[in-house]
Amino acid sequence: MKKSILIIGFLIITSVVLAQQNHLLPKPTHYARHNGHLRFGKTIALQYVATDLSSEAVTHLKNSIPKSIDLKVQDDADAQIIRLSLDTNGFKTSEGYRLAVAEDGIAIYGGGEAGLFYGLQSLLQLIEPVDSANTAWLLPYVRVDDEPRFQYRGAMLDVSRHFFRIDQLKHWLDILAYFKINTFHWHLTDDQGWRIEIKKYPELQKVAAFRKETLIGHKKELPHRFDGQRYGGHYTQAQVKELVAYARTKQITVIPEIEMPGHARAALAAYPQLGCTGGPYETAMFWGIFDDVYCAGKEETFQFLEDVLSEVIPLFPGPYIHIGGDECLKDKWRVCPHCQARMHDEHLPDEFALQSYFMQRMATVVNRHGKRIIGWDEILEGGLATDATVMSWTGEEGGIHAAKAGHDAIMSPEKYVYLDYYQSLATEEPLAAGGYTSLEKIYTYDPIPASLTADEAKHIIGVQANLWSEYLTSNDQAEYMLFPRILALAEIAWTAAGKKDFNAFVNRVQHYYPLLDAAGIHYADVLADVQD
């Protein structure tokens, strides 16, 4: 029997009134509140009793409390006991859980370790201080039965256009996991910066990781922002491993994205021979789609990307590697002798077929490492690699097409779930990419398109919100764009469609503002807008 004692000292969370209603977010499948509650003193001691969990699993659970809640592991004879049990037959997936709080204590049953983790997150969401001085804490008697709607609940962050430190990313993973998001899509390379160490290609760190100016945004909009500062940075492989391991303790899978064949200007600045013209190239400084892309004719390009993937793939234990595929202009390919020769030799009718050849070749490399590719919906053009998963961003069409063809798809339509869009129509909003993605718009989005049959719909494995960072100038601004909108994503990804209710959701979001305050998160208070 494994035992460990946890003392949880909560940071000051101001003016939280004990709510009787279900404020769990995302909303669970089934929630029943019973009369009474467990009462804790000023600090909360929780003791885990896990009969059938590995010590590693228990450690993960111990580490699962967001950093905003100050956790100390100590022996305490008076601890409340949480009985953790696996129930592998009782749930549809390993993420399902049952939480029971009653007179005789706290019990969590999980379909797997992930389920126990989510049961614990729900428990943490239910513990409330009795007063603003946190003189005591109450945990209501409840029974929660819960399963996620989608297995893939994602958030993407673009660290190329704006660079974020590992500790900043970890902080977000804490909060994302607390709201049961389980996938972090790490957009590591783009025209404006290459952010992952590749030992075989040191120029990536020296050249591709930097650009001449701090800021990108759109050239026309930002003349005043030129500061002449070289801007950049990258993550070492050791840091990548550290983040991936950290995410694992939060039940979060990290998916790296290495962009190809477009969005490659930074890589070409470092290795110009990989472009059709041979350069010279510069890491891009502004928002845009650039026509200098990897040359699809030269073997050297494939060798480079194969080498890159061979270093990247072992760092990420998850099943997917994202290889981009979006917005690849074909202008250079049309006049490049290498590309034209390749098309001739491989009997490719047009440049779209050449892109498909490119992506399928790289998919083979990924498959050889035992992984599957994800690509943006443009990978559908000219034919899809056998086990490719499509990330549908230009709309829902790509996802629908993929699902009908028996491919998995992740819905991420820009119109609904793009977090670089404005979140309110207020004039004082920070400059953003354009568009408007309100909290309500995300909330009302249903990732399963009505045009799919039940069987086809099974291929929609989930939904993801994307935060592109061309317009971000700071970590605080990134948080402002992420929160609270990412909570709407969390709920549409977890909660059954029939259980959604926007007004009730808004109340629940408000409930978490003090927690976000305590965690030092700079969220946008968009609820004032909503209630108008």
Cβ proximity to ligand TNX, 360 vs 394, nearer residue = 394
Q: HSE, CB side, 13 Å, CA atoms: give it for residue 301.
A: 27
327 binds ligand TNX (CB under 6 A): yes
Alpha helices in 262-298 (DSSP H): 265-270
Q: Closest approach of Cβ 512 to ligand TNX, in Å?
A: 27
- Of residues 70, 203, 213, 327, which has the active-site annotation? 327
**Beta strands 97-102 and 253-260, pairing class:** unpaired
DSSP characters over 93-155: STT-EEEEEETTEEEEEESSHHHHHHHHHHHHHH-EESSTT---EEEEEEEEEE--S-SEEEE
Check: CB of residue 300 under 8 Å from CB of residue 273: yes
- Residue 113 contacts ligand TNX per CB under 6 A: no
| Site map (CB under 6 A) of ligand TNX, residues 450-469, x = contact | ------------------x-
Residues shown for the chain? 532
Among 433, 492, 509, 518, binds ligand TNX (CB under 6 A): 433
Contact present, 202 and 412 (Cβ < 8 Å)? no
Supply the minimum distance, in Å, between the C-beta of residue 342 and ligand TNX.
25
CB of 326 to ligand TNX, least distance (A): 4
Classify burial at 303, counting beta carbons within 10 Å of its beta carbon; exposed 0-12, middle 13-18, buried 19 or more: exposed
By CB under 6 A, residue 393 contacts ligand TNX: yes
Are 59 and 93 contacting, i.e. CB atoms less than 8 angstroms apart? Answer: no
470: contact with ligand TNX by CB under 6 A: yes
Interface map 43-82 toward ligand TNX (x if CB under 6 A): ----------------------------------------
CB closer to ligand TNX, 311 vs 326: 326
Nearer to ligand TNX among residue 65 and residue 293 (C-beta): 293
Q: Does 328 bind ligand TNX (CB under 6 A)?
A: no
Token pair for 330: 């074909």
Per-residue CA distances from 145 to 25, 114, 138, 152 (Å): 14, 14, 20, 20
Q: How far is the CB of 470 from ligand TNX (least distance, A)?
A: 6
Whose tokens are 């006049």? That residue is 335
Rank residues 106 and 268 by Cβ distance to ligand TNX and give the closer one: 268
Least distance in angstroms from the C-beta of 163 to ligand TNX: 15
Does 420 sit near ligand TNX (CB under 6 A)?
yes
Rule CB under 6 A: is residue 326 a binding residue for ligand TNX? yes
Q: Which one of the listed residues 263, 322, 407, 511 is annotated catalytic? A: 263
Structure-block tokens of residue 372 = 């599957």
Q: What angle do CA 421, 424, 428 make, to 5 degrees?
A: 100
**Least separation in angstroms between CB 131 and ligand TNX:** 45
Annotated active-site residue 263? The verdict is: yes
60 catalytic? Reply is: no
Segment holding 322, helix H or strand E: strand 320-324
Q: Please report whether residue 376 would count as binding ligand TNX according to CB under 6 A.
A: yes
Please say whether the beta carbons of 241 and 313 come within 8 A. no
Q: Is 327 a catalytic residue?
A: yes
Q: Which is nearer to ligand TNX, 271 or 418 (CB)?
A: 418
Give the interface with ligand TNX as residue ranges (CB under 6 A): 326-327, 376, 393, 420, 433, 468, 470
Give catalytic residue positions: 190, 263, 327
